[in-house]
């Protein structure tokens, strides 16, 4: 009912179409684009045109579907919330890898349930290169945690859209690289 009223309110203002903002939520999406992800506006010019390198797509939809798009918007906000939490976990793990490696591995595991990105693993490996060379056991456990997250990443629905062979190549190529990076 509430959605019905919302639709009506748009229609009486002469609006037939509305717009939803999409970015691609990854490790490098900026804070501002994360804020806008999923938001709905009546006119395209009501969205910022940031041109900062983050993907930006405005999807138009008929006013009568506002209820569905508001539901989508809530799901998108949840994706953003999880990505922000993931970044906090990864940063903290990077900070404490040497002083509290158990906790760091746990945080990376949690972060990996959301997603894992190779450039962030590169950053972690570069920062802790000496530690990972001297502590082979820690290095092996780190590799195990990250590889597990990496393989899980390809079981996520969004990767199912990739053709099977491409998906496999991407997955295996990334796994080989992670093994190299973390010194197998
Ligand atoms: Zn941005």
pLDDT in tens, 126-143: 999 999 999 999 999 999
Question: What helix, strand, coil percent values describe the chain, rounded to 5?
Answer: 70, 10, 25
Q: Rounded CA gap, 143 and 175, in Å?
A: 10
* Six token digits for residue 105: 């591995």
Which has the higher per-residue pLDDT, 109 or 15?
A: 109
- Residue 158 CA to ligand 1 center (angstroms) comes to 21
Residues with Cβ < 8 Å from 54, sequence gap 6 or more? 23, 24, 28, 29, 30, 33
- Residue 84 CA to ligand 1 center (angstroms) comes to 14
**Res 1 pLDDT > 60:** no
pLDDT score at 50: 75
* Six token digits for residue 38: 């999923």
Instruction: Report which secondary-structure segment, H or E, holds 17.
Output: strand 17-22
pLDDT score at 181: 93
Burial (CB < 10 A; 0-12, 13-18, 19+), residue 81, is exposed
* Six token digits for residue 137: 């056991």
pLDDT score at 161: 74
Reported as a pLDDT band with limits 50, 70 and 90, residue 14 is confident
Q: Does the pTM of the predicted model rise above 0.85? A: yes
How many residues does this entry show for the chain? 184
Which residues have their alpha-adjacent CB atom under 5 A from ion ligand 1? 30, 33, 52, 54
**Strand pairing partners for 59?**
20
Burial (CB < 10 A; 0-12, 13-18, 19+), residue 145, is buried
- Residue 182 CA to ligand 1 center (angstroms) comes to 31
Encode pLDDT of 17-59 as tens digits.
999 999 999 999 999 999 999 999 999 999 988 788 899 999 9
Q: Which residue in 113, 119, 94, 118 sits closest to 104, CA to CA? A: 94
- Residue 176 CA to ligand 1 center (angstroms) comes to 31
Q: Rounded CA gap, 46 and 18, in Å?
A: 11
């Amino acid at each position: 009912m509430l959605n019905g009223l919302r639709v009506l309110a748009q229609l009486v203002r002469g609006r037939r179409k509305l717009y939803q903002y999409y970015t691609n939520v990854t490790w490098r999406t900026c804070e501002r684009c994360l804020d806008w992800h999923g938001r709905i506006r009546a006119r395209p010019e009501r969205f910022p045109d940031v041109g900062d390198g983050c993907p930006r797509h405005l999807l138009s939809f008929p006013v009568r579907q506002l209820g569905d798009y508001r539901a989508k918007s809530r799901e998108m906000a949840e994706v953003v919330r999880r990505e922000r939490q993931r970044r906090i976990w990864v940063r903290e793990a990077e900070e404490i890898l040497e002083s509290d490696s158990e906790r760091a591995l746990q945080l990376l595991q949690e972060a990996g349930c959301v997603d894992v990105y190779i450039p962030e693993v590169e950053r972690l490996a570069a920062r802790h290169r000496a530690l990972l060379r001297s502590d082979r056991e820690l290095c092996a456990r780190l590799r195990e945690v990250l590889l597990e997250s990496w393989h899980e990443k390809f079981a996520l629905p969004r990767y199912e859209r990739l053709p099977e062979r491409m998906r496999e190549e991407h997955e295996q190529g990334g796994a080989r690289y992670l093994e190299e990076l973390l010194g197998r």
